[in-house]
Structure 1
Amino acid sequence: MKDQRNTLPYWLTAPSVLVMLALVALPLVLTLSMSLYPYDAAQMMGSTMTSANYAEVLSDDYFHVIFVRTFGMAFLVTLICIVIGVPEAYVLSRLSSEWRAVSMVVVLGPLLISVVVRTLGWAVLLGSEGLINKTLLMIGLIDAPIKMLYTFTGVVIALTHVLMPFMVLAVWASLQKLDRATEQAAESLGANMFTVMWRIVFPQVIPGVLSGGLIVFASAASAFATPAIIGGRRLKVVPTTIYDEFLANLNWPLGATIAVLLVVIVLTVSLLANRLVERRWKQVFR
């Protein structure tokens, strides 16, 4: 009976583990193996293993620009989500139960709509004849339409809107464990609102900020629909480049190589950020 109790958790988790292996691990392994073969115009892939695909991507300035643009965009979107999402989650946690329910629907609204529909909505708003430019022209703030569609800025705006709920929810979950007595103690000792937020509240919600930031960063770096629609075909990012290599150029090994590098970089940045942020804040607020 003792042995059966000890093995019961493993049997219960076995189905989910098998599903994870079949739907996540196996495709990643196949993608990795595909990246190690040369491109063959007749058969898609050659028969001998090689590292030429990685050498091509790592040595070509064209791919360097694409990777820098992609991860620069992901970092910027993550930073904006932190700056806006943390105060938003704090205000949300202080609302009454009725207003909190309404606010949660507003925050979660973008997640209830298809990403393609949301992105097309932003395309309408950001266009030269869109609502934003028409409003700015009408009130006289600009003399000519501002080019926001098919630009880096437009992609950042749209991705921030799409991914903001993940940051708000992660920080809001951490705020549920916040001890209100620490805020009241700081205020009674003369600390202003900014000091309370920076020295008391923010250190306690670092786990939520970190988890939300990692979700936002990984999602922004791997986003396809929003950069493809808002950025267009000229503003290349890594996911759209992978799509082009697989379906336009039919160079599956090169597309698989770029995909593998994307996964490796995202995982590396996530692990390093986890280590550095936790170590840094432990030193500062020890």
Structure 2
Amino acid sequence: MTRPALIPPLALAAAALATAAHAEIPPFTAQCPTGITVTWDPAGNVRVNGSPASVRMYNQQYFEATAGGITFPISTDQDGSGLLVGFNPPGSAGGYCTILSQGSDQPDTTAGADGPDHFQVSGASRLNVRSAPSTSAAIVGKLPAGTVVENLGCRQTEGRDWCHISDGDASGWAASEFLSEASGPVRAPRATPVGQDNAANHTVQQVRFPRGSTGTEFTDSLDPQVSHRYVLGARNGQFLYFRLAANGPGMTYVIYNPDGSVLLDEMSSDREYRGQLWQSGDHIVEVHNTANGRQSFNVIFGIN
């Protein structure tokens, strides 16, 4: 794609530029190719599929957000009009994202003075978290039952109550009937979902560890003949530990290197993995349910 003309980068820290740049670019929600949602809220948070993005400021009408190796050029005219959100994946010509809402059209939040400070995910094994308070809004993640999240405010739309929630890494909107009052602090299995691949037979989830920890574990389930990919960032030379504890037969897993090559070919759930990594980047652990019925399981990750 052809980017808008740039004023040369200013020799100032990004933090010093943030307020000035955001004053000119209105809050927005944009839908990009491959189902990616980009949002910027009035508090100055740029998120890609609900997770914080790194931001580089150039001037009051142009900045770039980066997440998952994809760059999103964001620009407006001097009066704040003409908002453009670009999509520049590596090795591709890219294109532009569709603006779903901006400025005063952004969903407002009625903060939780009349509600709890925290919710717990209940009534759903995996709760859909959306980019806006609507069943037609893009799903930016799925949270496992039992996750405790912060209540950022609730509102009523489409005849139901929606709450803006955050698990500490990602944020979005969820229907309130799947949330129950809980006490803080925020705690989660720390596998923060990042969306769903185009392929219908598997989902993708970004694994994050609690602060100060080198491992995490949580429980999930899979329908028959379906797989789930766990994306785990690690560096060359680190050691990976993975264990799949299945509550039934037919559960297997494969581990892929960041370049897509196979680190560990298909392994049954009774075999754990311990080994040194030889690439840096996002490693994928794909869990498969090859049985004829739905299976529950527990996974344990460790990086040293």
Give TM-score, length-normalised by structure 2: 0.20
Higher share of residues assigned helix:
1
Larger Rg: 1
Higher share of residues assigned strand:
2
Structure with more relative contact order (C-alpha pairs < 8 Å, separation 6 or more): 1
